[in-house]
Amino acid sequence: MSEPQDVLVRREQAGGVATITLDSPHNRNALSSRLLRQLDDALSWALDDPAVRVIVLTGTGPVFCAGADLKEQRGGGAPVTASFPDIMSRIWESPKPVVCRLNGTARAGGLGLVAACDFAVAPATASFAFTEVRLGVVPAMIAVTCLRRLEPRAAAEYFLTGEVFGAARAVEIGLLTRAVPADDLDATVAHYTGMLLRGGPEALAITKRLVREVPLLPVEEGFRAMAALSAERFTSEEGQEGIRAFAEKRPAAWVPSESTAGDAGR
């Protein structure tokens, strides 16, 4: 049977957390057309399943993602990564929080996935680089997510030079949320997913939008819009359930029973 070799993206769900794993270590989880199709399918599964509250994106082997599969890019035809912008957009716009658990190094297009996620945690030994200009191409598609995360001077530095930089620097410039010792990687990811599971699903989806959109509003317009939204959420079914749960010192109805969130956030 050839099926195991054909599976480049694995998926599993437990306790409200869906884990999507890039499983193509033979080519460093490069963004081949098959991997992208399977990643798109896995995202659809996680986004459509009401039991899934949080999504974790990770990989196998020493590299999280090496970027485009260059073997498929030879010949000058249309890029086989044409579906990649849609995938990054789905992660960016996902109403469910997405945590990137980098199993190792990332390069080029792989950094577009990292930047699209809400949280990104990597081993302190991981390295990163926007290598496109050294191949005579440009970091065009991933600029949409990466330039929304990176400090402008750092973006210019690393986009233009292709220089390799470490995990501590990646945190400093906004690409990563945390860089931790490899032995602490799973515990750190579990810390974030556990806290996210305690948030109301509607509240989390709305708050994701707030983080992106409110800074773009004029101040007075922002206050008016947010006052109305705040009143709406306090009177919503989800808001009222959260208030009751707080008063009764119990988990809210949306917290999965298998959650290991414990008393985080209380």
For residues 261 and 25, give the distance between their C-alpha atoms in angstroms, rounded to a whole number. 31
Per-residue pLDDT at 77: 54
Pairing of strands 165-166, 127-129: antiparallel
pTM equals 0.93
> How confident is the model at residue 79, as a pLDDT?
63
For residues 226 and 8, give the distance between their C-alpha atoms in angstroms, rounded to a whole number: 43
Low-confidence residues of the chain: pLDDT under 50: 1-3, 260-266
164-195 burial code (b ≥16 CB/10 A, e <16):
ebebebbbebbbbbbbbeeeebeebbbbbbbe
Using CA atoms, how far apart are residues 173 and 160, in angstroms rounded to an integer?
A: 15
**What is the separation, in whole angstroms, between the first and last Cα of the chain?**
50
So where are the chain's domains?
3-195, 199-247
- The dotted CATH code for 3-195 is 3.90.226.10
Q: Is 205 exposed, middle or buried (0-12, 13-18, 19+ CB in 10 A)?
A: middle
Query: Which is the catalytic residue, given 132, 172, 232, 241?
Result: 132
Among residues 132, 150, 154, which one has the least CA distance to residue 141? 132
Asked about 220 being catalytic, the answer comes back as no
pLDDT of residue 76: 62
d(CA 266, CA 25): 40
